[in-house]
Amino acid sequence: MQTSRIIFHIDINAFYAACELINDPSLKGKPIVVAHNDVLRKSIILSPSYEARAYGIKTTMLVRDAYNLCDKIIVVEPKMDLYQKHSALFFAFLEKITTQIEAGSIDEAFLDVTLVAKKTDPIRLAQFIQSTLYNKYRLPTSIGIAPNKFLAKMASNMKKPLGITVLRKREIDKLLWPLEINKMYGVGKKTNIKLRKIGINTIGDLANFQDKILLEKIIGPTFSKTLTDWANGIADDFVDPTKYDEISSISNSHTFDHDQIDVIFIKKSLKSLVYTVANRLIKKDLKAKTIGITIKYSDFHTISRSQSLNNPINEALEINEIVMELFEENYEENSLVRLVGVFVNRLSDASKTEDYKQLSIFDNLSVAEKENEIKNILNNVQTRFGDDIIQKGYYGYKKEKEKK
């Protein structure tokens, strides 16, 4: 009897660049980068081809910096309609394999093929998917096969382009633990620095780190538990085809009157959105296991980044901690921001969820009690008189300033 799930993570290699090659085959074999070709070359690279990556050119690098590495690069203007067209073909094909599909983004997906694998060998199935996508749709992919989404995601990154990797829990000490900690999904630039400061340089170091209290102090109790579990191959996540349905998520966003570059101002707006989302969660008696942010830049380039947790939360302070971490690790410095958003999904009934949060010896108990008391008062007032009765952060200040 099969007891574990079989999860595929399918990632289209250099997706935007791959679409441009389909659109213009004459670009094949050349170092192309997808980016706005402005005069000052200050645009951000959305996707370099593998020929460009051979020179050290990476996603989010400035075009001018890429020219310093290779003066022969070809800058191609992004075509979102083209990318959406090929993304639709990608997902339509996957739906012929199984209905258990969760979109990771426009160019990646998780598939639960547990039932399908009862009729066919998983590796042969992966080979069929990869070869069909490449030969019929000209989309190169890498596929990770594992018992949970985290390991599948890590596996798909191990062989690019056109790789297929199986990662079993019993193999994590050999295949996963030797990897540098910054290679771990969920560990961004800021977290990488924090972990290395306490001697965690590899995923194995994290998996076997003994000082749990210190780790919680450094990156927070929620995040530390999730990352430690993942490093040990533990994840209770599941493929959710409805993950981005409106009914299964809560979100809020704000478009600035003028494009913003002030990081403090942007963070204040995110914090205000966090409190609105947290209040809606509490009013609906829900908790969320995925916290995410959206950033739209002045050139309309948009990114969405999220952090999944093993334990659901709905506290504004905990959500804000994750949102700030996501922003700091993904914000493209010195870039003008047009819109920011906060979203939560993988929702569950809060009344049926055990409250797992524990205060460490570093927490101030009286402060925590006061924060909780204030939170309850705010929630009661908003429930009774409406969400807009209390304005938090810069929104209230802004409205008052406009009146004056």
Q: Enumerate the active-site residues.
A: 108
Backbone angles phi and psi of 296, in degrees to 5: -110, 125
d(CA 35, CA 38) in angstroms, rounded, equals 9
Amino acid at 83: Y
Q: How far, CA to CA in Å, does 159 sit from each of 16, 36, 156? A: 19, 29, 6
How many other C-beta atoms can be found within 10 angstroms of the C-beta atom of residue 161?
15
106 contacts 89 by C-beta, under 8 angstroms: no
* Alpha helices (H) in 172-262, listed in sequence order: 172-175, 189-197, 203-207, 212-219, 221-231
d(CA 94, CA 109) in angstroms, rounded, equals 9
H or E element in which residue 346 lies: strand 337-349
Token couple for 299? 């050139």
Residue 210 burial (C-beta neighbours within 10 Å; 0-12, 13-18, 19+): exposed
d(CA 178, CA 201) in angstroms, rounded, equals 9
Contacts of 382 (CB under 8 A, 6+ apart): 279, 283, 389, 390
d(CA 264, CA 256) in angstroms, rounded, equals 14
The strands making up 141-146's β-sheet, listed across from edge to edge, are 101-105, 108-112, 7-12, 141-146, 164-166
d(CA 136, CA 91) in angstroms, rounded, equals 14
Token couple for 50? 């593998």
Q: State the DSSP code for 45.
A: P
H or E element in which residue 380 lies: helix 365-385
DSSP symbols for 212-228: HHHHHHHH-HHHHHHHH
